[in-house]
Amino acid sequence: MISECRLCGGTNLRPWMTDGRNRDLVYYKCDDCSLWNYDLDCGVDQTQYTEVYISPRDVEHRSNRLNVDSWNFLRRYADSPRSIMDIGCGNAGLLHLAREAGWDVAGMELSRQAADSIREDQGIDVVVSDFLKYENPEGRSYDVVALRHVLEHLPDSLLAMRRIAALLKDNGLALLEFPNTGSFSYRLKRVLKNRGLKNAKYAPDWRPGHVNEFCRKSFEYLLDQTGFELVVWRTYSNKRVANAFYRWVPIASKVRVLVRKQPASAVGQEAA
């Protein structure tokens, strides 16, 4: 059992959702900040997300269509050529689009194989590193840092945002995408899993990869603690037709956000 929230340190936690074939994998909701904390003692498996490399030139592939959506969202707010670091860049599809628009691009991946594939196919150098341990030896800073469907996999969300801040210039932007526990589908999923109606699909030894799950309240708390301000919060679906609806009714199961790093002086003034 978890004794305190990994985000706010609060102790007002209650069992919230069971997962896995035997319903013995437990998420606890913090009543203070609303973060869903997965009990890490139950086991985690991040290897299930390893993907075969797909070139971003394959424009019909689903992953590349999603990269286009991310790029179109970003360029509405950062339309002039800038520098970008994409953490967990996958096939570097976002970087491919940014470079075509004249941006200076860099990426990071855990997998050496993924980094080599990107370099061979696109000529983009990708740092191989665990983001939470990356020390930025060259001291580079960027106008934009992207972290798409990575935050929910990281046990220390506060450290993740501080690592992003360290890579950003003052007033730089961070693009993040992650599941939205405030959505209707997440609420329905919780009910079904707690009743054992959605668990048979898992193998007995299956373990999740999402360890911290956010809604808007918990994410805004994270921003307040790490010197960021929210620029835009938009829920979305991978189904494009549905997105026309979610533009007006923000209840989709995923969220795409843009946040701005506040200058150190501004953060200091707020703290005072």
Number of structural domains found in the chain: 2
- In the predicted structure, residue 22 carries a pLDDT above the cut 90: yes
> Which residue, among 236, 232, 209, 227, has the nearest Cα to 270 in the 3D structure?
227
- How many percent of the chain have pLDDT more than 70? 96
Residues 208 and 168 in one domain: no
Alpha-helical segments (H) within the chain: 62-77, 93-100, 112-122, 157-167, 184-194, 216-226, 240-246, 264-271
User: Which tens digit of pLDDT belongs to each residue from 33-56?
Assistant: 999 999 999 999 988 887 789 999
Q: Which amino acid is at 192?
A: L
Tell me, yes or no, whether 103 and 202 share the same domain. Answer: no
Q: Does residue 70 carry a pLDDT above 50?
A: yes
- Do residues 135 and 259 share a domain? yes
The CATH code of the domain that includes 174 is 3.40.50.150
Same domain, residue pair 175 and 68? yes
Taking the C-alpha atoms of residue 234 and residue 101, their distance in angstroms, rounded to an integer, is: 24
Model confidence pLDDT, tens digit, residues 99-116: 999 999 999 999 999 999
49 within some domain: no
Residue 85 CA to residue 103 CA, distance in Å, equals: 10
Beta-bridged to residue 212, according to DSSP, are 37
Residue 52 in domain: no
Q: Are residues 119 and 254 in the same domain?
A: yes
Place of tokens 């290897």: 47
Tell me, yes or no, whether 112 and 158 share the same domain. Answer: yes
Q: Note whether residue 48 is domain-resident.
A: no
Written as one letter, the residue type at 217 is K
Residue 206 placed within a domain: yes
Assigned domain for 262 exists: yes
Helices 93-100 and 62-77 pack at an angle, to 10 degrees, of 50
Same-domain check for residues 139 and 246: yes
One domain, residues 69 and 160? yes
Q: Which domain holds residue 138?
A: 57-179+217-271
Q: Are residues 172 and 187 in the same domain?
A: no
Whether residues 141 and 34 fall in one domain: no
Among 23-32, 125-134, 250-259, which stretch is predicted with the lowest mean pLDDT?
A: 250-259
Is residue 182 helix, strand or coil?
coil
Residues facing residue 140 across a β-bridge: none
Neighbours of 86 (CB within 10 A): 28
Return the SS3 of 175. Answer: strand
